[in-house]
Amino acid sequence: MEDHDHIRARVRDLVARHDLAGMTQREFLGHRFDAGLAWVHAPAGCGGLGLSRALQPVVEEELAAAGVPRLNLARNPIGLGMGAPTVLAHGTDGQRARLLRPLWTGEEVWCQLFSEPGAGSDLAGLATRAVRDGDAWVVDGQKVWTSLAHHARWAMLLARTDPQEPKHRGMTYFVLDMQAPGVEVLPLRQATGQAEFNEVFLTGVRIPDTMRLGDVGQGWTVATTTLMNERVAIGGAAAPREGGPLGELMRLWRDRPELRTPGLHHRLLRLWARAEAARIGNERTRQANAAGKPGPEGSAAKLAYAGIAQDISRLHLELTGPDALGYDDWTFRRSEMTGSGEVRHAGFHYLRTRANSIEGGTNEVLRGVIADRVLDLPREPRTDTKLPWKDVPR
């Protein structure tokens, strides 16, 4: 209780010392970071106080009571959901001091340079090379499906540094300045008309060794931290009952009594029950994340989320009827955020949710993770995990 009281007093002091109406959200977030109230589990000076993660809800509760708007994770989803946990877990003091504050305030957006045209589901097969050159690394390669690369200042980059090693042991993890010479970002237009994804070409890009996360050759270990947090961020986010697209579907159902046929009622009830079970089950995922140990349960949460989101969008499309076919916003535009929350239209949601079973790990890969790490089933036979990467057929 002493820590709870200390946190409450610290939040109240933060609010009392700053005129919320007279500053931008970014300015207030900066003050919040400096007060150690961004993520209280982080070390002092890194936006935290070195306290238990379990105290973070106390911060949010006090801020809400003071009328501070709820933190909008969409302002920097990849940085907040994946970049920050990775830097906190594997970064040096200097890296934390340089990267975390502008990440938290949204001043510097992050993206993720993992997938490649020949290494999507099999990420460890990536071919982008990083070659040591004195106190820097020279990187050449291509990345794909990179959300928000057109806005990003920093990228989490996984590159191959030793082709003589097996594929999981020959990679190194870097933080790449997206403004560096040799970085080219090209849009990938989606079925919705948006271009939130990109392909990124890296040609002779130099990265100082000071921007390496973890040891040379230990990139897979660092990347696992990113991936586990990614799946929690996508599938395990806290949501109110009937929140998001499900809420829109339920409003449509209640507003149109003519839709309430026995068959549709049965489908809606089953979908509502699945969504509610997933929402309640996500509490365990969030508890594991709060303890600093995101694990395979994040894969289960993300897998459930993908199926439910697609089924909600399908039923919403059916219940909307011909009006759903009125979606015609095919104007090419560069999205400011990821996900389907930007446009509320049944046709848009249906098209956008097709990606849910691919992004953040395909459904097939996540089922393999669950089978291996949760159910302890025998692994599928593999012939490429012990071979030097250069000898693996591609």
Average pLDDT on 232-244 reads 64
pLDDT class for 341, splitting at 50, 70, 90? very low
CATH number of domain containing 123: 2.40.110.10
Q: How far apart are CA 231 and CA 278, in angstroms?
A: 14
Q: Do residue 180 and residue 245 come from a single domain?
A: no
The most confident of the ranges 55-59, 85-89, 290-294, 361-365 is 85-89
pLDDT beyond 60 at 249 = yes
Which residue has better confidence, 84 or 323? 84
So what's the pLDDT on residue 234?
57
So what's the pLDDT on residue 240?
72
Strand partners, 112: 156
Q: Do residue 369 and residue 234 come from a single domain?
A: yes
Task: For residue 17, give its domain range.
Answer: 2-105
Domain assignment present for residue 389? The answer is no
Q: Do residue 258 and residue 214 come from a single domain?
A: no
Lowest mean pLDDT among 30-39, 238-247, 248-257, 300-309: 238-247
So what's the pLDDT on residue 232?
61
pLDDT beyond 80 at 239 = no
Domain assignment present for residue 387? The answer is no
So what's the pLDDT on residue 274?
92
CATH number of domain containing 37: 1.10.540.10
Q: How many domains does the chain have?
A: 3
Average pLDDT on 20-31 reads 90
Round the average pLDDT of the chain to a whole number and report it.
87
Average pLDDT on 287-298 reads 61
Domain assignment present for residue 385? The answer is no
pLDDT class for 238, splitting at 50, 70, 90? low
Return the percent helix, strand and coil in the chain, to nearest 5: 50, 15, 35
Q: How far apart are CA 262 and CA 128, in angstroms?
A: 54
pLDDT class for 69, splitting at 50, 70, 90? confident
Q: Do residue 238 and residue 340 come from a single domain?
A: yes
pLDDT beyond 80 at 235 = no
So what's the pLDDT on residue 241?
79
- First-last CA distance in the chain: 58
So what's the pLDDT on residue 168?
92
In the set 108, 230, 248, 297, the catalytic residue is 230
Q: How far apart are CA 176 and CA 333, in angstroms?
A: 25
Q: How far apart are CA 384 and CA 369, in angstroms?
A: 18
Q: Among residues of the chain, what percentage have pLDDT more than 90? A: 50
So what's the pLDDT on residue 295?
63
Domain assignment present for residue 122? The answer is yes
- Best CA proximity match to 376, nearest among 298, 296, 301: 296
Domain assignment present for residue 381? The answer is no
Which residue has better confidence, 321 or 308? 308
Q: Do residue 16 and residue 95 come from a single domain?
A: yes
pLDDT class for 28, splitting at 50, 70, 90? very high
Q: Which residue among 82, 105, 128 closes a domain?
A: 105
Domain assignment present for residue 378? The answer is no
Q: Tell me the torsion sign for CA atoms 20, 23, 29, 33.
A: negative
So what's the pLDDT on residue 365?
83
Q: Which residue among 168, 185, 219 closes a domain?
A: 219
Q: How far apart are CA 41 and CA 51, in angstroms?
A: 5
CATH number of domain containing 361: 1.20.140.10
Query: Which residues are within 8 A (CB) of 376 and not within 5 positions of it... i.e. 6 or more apart?
Result: none
Lowest mean pLDDT among 178-192, 305-319, 360-374: 360-374
So what's the pLDDT on residue 247?
86
pLDDT beyond 70 at 205 = yes
So what's the pLDDT on residue 383?
76
Centre a 10 Å sphere on the Cβ of residue 44 and count the other Cβ atoms it contains: 10
CB-based burial label for 195 (10 Å; 0-12, 13-18, 19+): middle
Domain assignment present for residue 63? The answer is yes
Q: How far apart are CA 357 and CA 365, in angstroms?
A: 10
Q: Which residue among 196, 219, 242 closes a domain?
A: 219
Average pLDDT on 267-275 reads 92
Query: Which residues are within 8 A (CB) of 94 and not within 5 positions of it... i.e. 6 or more apart?
Result: 210
So what's the pLDDT on residue 342?
46
Q: How far apart are CA 137 and CA 161, in angstroms?
A: 9
Domain assignment present for residue 24? The answer is yes
pLDDT beyond 90 at 374 = no
Q: Do residue 204 and residue 99 come from a single domain?
A: no
Q: Do residue 228 and residue 212 come from a single domain?
A: no
Catalytic site residue 116? no
Q: Do residue 158 and residue 144 come from a single domain?
A: yes
Q: Do residue 159 and residue 196 come from a single domain?
A: yes
Q: Do residue 32 and residue 158 come from a single domain?
A: no
pLDDT class for 279, splitting at 50, 70, 90? confident
Average pLDDT on 146-159 reads 95
Which residue has better confidence, 86 or 233? 86
pLDDT beyond 60 at 364 = yes
pLDDT beyond 80 at 336 = no
Q: Do residue 360 and residue 249 come from a single domain?
A: yes
Which residue has better confidence, 115 or 296? 115
- Best CA proximity match to 181, nearest among 223, 237, 139: 139
pLDDT beyond 60 at 54 = yes
So what's the pLDDT on residue 343?
46
Q: Do residue 281 and residue 357 come from a single domain?
A: yes
